[in-house]
Amino acid sequence: MEFRRKALENLRAPDDLDSPLRLARPRAWAVLALVAVLIAGGLVWSFNGSLARNVNIPGILTHPLGVSKVESPQSGLVSDVFAQTGNPVTKGAPVLSLVDAHGATQIVRAPFSGRTIALLVDNGQYVNAGATFMTVERTDSKNDRLVAVLFAPADKAGQLQIGDDVDMDVSSAPAQAFGLMRGHVTAVDAFPQTEQQVLDFLGGNQLLSNQLLKKGGPVRITVDLETDSKVSSGYRWTSASGPPFRINSWTQVTGYGRLPGERPIDWLLPK
């Protein structure tokens, strides 16, 4: 019986099981070991590592009592305006004179101390009783000082606690040039404010009120500024000296709150 040559050769050839096993090259083993180390390191970091978190909230530098409207106690024709925009005013000081219906001159006095933000009347103008004729940034609180008042949505406000650090980007002192102003949270309102309450705190400034509520929210957060008498601005900054000028109230800011770190694995787990 004749057999094909190829069949005979197959019978003579050893089985695959008897063939020597070809192991991976050393370079391949090194790559596998590196991948294993990276995976193990990633798992350890995901459970024990920490990712920094920040929250940014718009606001304004002002005094704790904010800005209040001053209303005329009676009707009359404005004969003189004593107050000037931007200047300080003292409680009891004359701010306006009116000529009433009987021709008598009546002096209207400031009901509180502060700084004049806006004058809404001029000489020769008729003013009705109860009409707002000026707005004043009040400086008559018991512990008066310059503070940052931030307006946050409820979910962001709940992430900040009293004592938390907040750095502020001040619109009149660009952060790229001067760094951020240092501060810490001293109060977080328990309840959101109404649009009217925010408007009243800002002295009726509708444009600013809309801006803060749109970019931020109705929960008010008070941030005390950290002072430094050795620098020109009088406040601490993330840079060495901050801006070479004083920072005025009624300046818009953006507050950056530094929140506690979060484990990377928490981002993947359902909450």
CA dihedral sign of residues 167, 171, 175, 177: negative
Residues 130 and 176 in one domain: no
**pLDDT tens profile 83-93:** 999 999 999 99
**pLDDT tens profile 222-255:** 999 999 999 999 999 999 889 999 999 999 999 9
Question: Domain of 124: which CATH number?
Answer: 2.40.50.100
Q: List, in sequence order, the alpha helices (H) in the chain.
A: 5-12, 26-48, 154-157, 175-178, 195-201, 206-215, 264-268
Helix (H, G, I), strand (E, B) or coil at 120: coil
Instruction: Let me know if residue 42 belongs to a domain.
Output: no
Average pLDDT score, the chain: 84
Residues 110 and 80 in one domain: yes
Residues 149 and 127 in one domain: no
Residues 164 and 59 in one domain: yes
Out of 138, 158, 193, a domain closes at 138
Q: Both tokens of residue 132? A: 């707002």
* 143 dihedral zone (left: phi>0; alpha: psi -120 to 50; beta): beta
Residues 93 and 220 in one domain: no
Instruction: Let me know if residue 25 belongs to a domain.
Output: no
> Is residue 33 predicted with pLDDT exceeding 90?
no
Triad 254, 255, 261: Cα angle to 5° = 140
Question: Domain of 220: which CATH number?
Answer: 2.40.30.170
Give the integer Cα–Cα distance in Å for 137 and 140: 9
Res 39: pLDDT: 72
Instruction: Let me know if residue 26 belongs to a domain.
Output: no
Q: What is the pTM (predicted TM-score) of this model?
A: 0.72
Res 55: pLDDT: 82
Is 215:168 a contact under the CB 8 Å cutoff? no
> Is residue 71 predicted with pLDDT exceeding 80?
yes
Out of 138, 153, 183, a domain closes at 138
Triad 24, 28, 29: Cα angle to 5° = 80
- The residue segments making up the domain with residue 95 are 67-138
Residues 60 and 188 in one domain: yes
Strands of the sheet with 126-127, listed across from one edge: 105-109, 94-99, 76-81, 126-127
Residues 184 and 123 in one domain: no
Please list, in sequence order, all residues whose beta carbon lies within 8 angstroms of the beta carbon of residue 17, skipping any fewer than 6 positions away.
Answer: none
pLDDT-derived band at 141, boundaries 50, 70, 90: confident
**Number of separate domains in the chain:** 2
Nearest to 152 by CA among 143, 140, 142, 161: 161
Instruction: Let me know if residue 270 belongs to a domain.
Output: no
Res 180: pLDDT: 96
Q: List, in sequence order, the alpha helices (H) in 160-205.
A: 175-178, 195-201
